Structure 1
């Protein structure tokens, strides 16, 4: 019985050492640089330029802007390198920026929330820089191609500006709110494919969804040429990005 116990114990220990040895050969620090087009989504909201007027801001047209990201990850295989499913996990930090455009979206202003009173148009400027703790998992690997999932949470620093203007020159007026800096909790999730060109170099193509939270605009601005203080409008902002990346495993 003792000999059998010692045999099983040695066998288990040998397997653990073998798995650890295999994992250590591929573990390392991965540096990732990503970039690509992105589109902001700003749902319908309201704004009250005066105490007696509440206007509806229709869901605007999303203009194509851009996103850049730089991350450093600790990447480590899970159990066995040759596993097809869930074989690699990476954790790290990433800095991402979204913006590069004066106006991320534009749409109609329905005065007094009446769709037939759409005499004004609005534009929103928005940019965000964020620091995220990221987690990436290779779900399926076939030959040199991996399907991965990625997600992260962190802090985002935003800058938002709002202004609207009449559709016709003879109407005149309009509301302008200057840029305001805010910070909020930010979360993202995405998926993509990674092509392993060499043992150390790979290229990726992925989709990333980011939720920036509820961003509050300035409560002070210019209305019809005069300074005004109003109830600050809030925008719930999201983005969808198509990113191409370069990965280098040190």
Structure 2
């Protein structure tokens, strides 16, 4: 009797075996937009300028390739109705193609002191570990949310110039690549045509951290002081194909 009780107690502590795992490989692309709000430029020890919102639009390409792991039998069966049905884990690689845009520079952060504009070329690659929460599914259609963290590599080419065309001081930074922690959140819908093929459409917002570019070259006495700090974010809409297998 004592042996049976000890065996029963031990069984409660052991993990239950998972059902057969399912996997998927997915890939696709869409459109993306960079945001550089709350970015700053330290021109001198007493002057820190801010960068205004860029004039870019939803005209930049983004590409994705990823792998999903579903613990247990996670892919909905035809005719099933499920609430908070499953959770899956993904590893995703994203590349946002180079975007060229410009915007205002506000001296001392004052919008009335708009003497300069900036130009920026920016592209970004990141690798993310994501948790996907399938909030609702019915038949072959599912709605999900996504949270993830990873590393982003951002390549930036920055310059600014006086708006009056004068030869006063300007700043230039050529092709600096910086890495930082990226955090993303999004939501989407997925439709499975069969047990092995599906399609998804999702929105993603990504905070790519603040990127300090280091010192810049200048045609004035500001050399060695200028230290741009960019607050990089992006939004994207993505369409992906999913190949699912056991």
Compute the TM-score of the two structures, normalised by the length of structure 2: 0.81
Q: Show the 5 A alignment for 1:69-218.
A: 69-75=64-70, 76-77=72-73, 81=77, 82-103=80-101, 106-170=102-166, 173-218=169-214
Most deviating of 158-167 and 193-202: 158-167
State the 1:247 CA deviation: 0.5
Range with bigger deviation, 137-146 or 46-55: 46-55
Residue of structure 1 in register with 2:225 after alignment = 230
Distance apart, 1:218 and its partner CA? 3.1
Kept in 2, the 8 Å contact 1:165–1:175? The answer is yes
Alignment deviations for residues 182-225 of structure 1 (CA, whole Å, 9 cap, x no partner): 2211111111000111111111111011110111123132335x
2:5 aligns with none
Note the aligned Cα RMSD (angstroms).
Answer: 2.7
Partner of 2:217: 221
Distance 1:221 1:171 in 2: 15
With the length of structure 1 as denominator, give the TM-score of the two structures.
0.80
Please, which moves more after superposition, 162-171 or 197-206? 162-171
- 5+ unaligned residues in a row in structure 1: which ranges? 1-8, 10-16
SS of equivalent residue, structure 1 residue 176 = strand
Residue 249, structure 1, aligned to residue 211, structure 2: no
Number of residue pairs the alignment of both structures matches: 227
1:28–1:113: structure 2 CA closer, same or farther, 3 Å change rule? closer
Query: Is residue 35 from structure 1 mapped to residue 29 from structure 2 by the alignment?
Result: yes
1:171 positional shift:
5.2
Contact 2:43 2:222 in 1 (8 A): no
Q: Taking structure 1 as reference, are residues 219 and 129 closer, same or farther at Cα in structure 2, changes over 3 Å only? A: same
* Structure 2: gaps spanning 5 or more residues: 1-7, 9-15
Aligned residue number for residue 56 of structure 1? 50
Question: Does the 8 A contact of 2:76 with 2:140 survive in 1?
Answer: no
Counterpart-to-counterpart distance in 2, 1:184 and 1:114: 29
How far the C-alpha of 1:227 sits from its partner, in A, is 8.2
User: Deviation at 1:173?
Assistant: 4.4
* Separation in 2, partners of 1:239, 1:80: 31
8 Å CA contact retained: 1:157, 1:183: yes
Question: How far apart are the structure 1 equivalents of 2:126 and 2:75?
Answer: 33
The Cα of 1:172 is off from its aligned counterpart by: 5.1
- C-alpha displacement of 1:249: 0.5
Counterpart secondary structure, 2:134: strand
- Which structure's residues are more often helix, by fraction? 1
